[in-house]
Amino acid sequence: VQLQAFGGGLVQAGDSLRLSCAVSGRTSNNYVVGWFRQAPGKGREFVAAISRSGGVTAYADSVKVRFTISRDNAKNMVYLQMNSLKPEDTAVYYCAAIYSTVVVSRRAQDYDYWGQGTQVTVSS
């Protein structure tokens, strides 16, 4: 299974950005997919996750109102729409997947497959 995250960039506070995660291999829609982020000098932090069907989502409190996770199983894509970005959202964002589960986990250690990360920088 391969995951590729892209769509990061440099934006100003208050701007929006959409990250994409391409999932390939095996049955690509048979995965829970999560987004995590890691800022310089900090540990990896849960951002959002979505169930296999897209019917169940979970968010970190810090992003709950501003970010939206979605997926298009026909395209094997998962998205993270980020609105009202803040400087504290600056981090490398990773998408990750758990195979064949119904648990929408917030724990990085539960995820089996990881993409390479995409940098998001929000200037004040």
DSSP 42-81: S-EEEEEEE-SSS--EEE-TTTTTTEEEEEETTTTEEEEE
Q: What is the pLDDT of residues 76-117, one digit of tens each?
A: 999 999 999 999 999 999 999 998 778 899 999 999 999 999
Query: What distance in Å separates the CA atoms of residue 109 and residue 10, rounded to the nearest whole number?
Result: 29
Look at residue 20 and give its three-state secondary structure: strand
Q: What is the pLDDT of residues 18-67, one digit of tens each?
A: 999 999 987 667 899 999 999 999 999 999 999 999 999 999 999 999 99
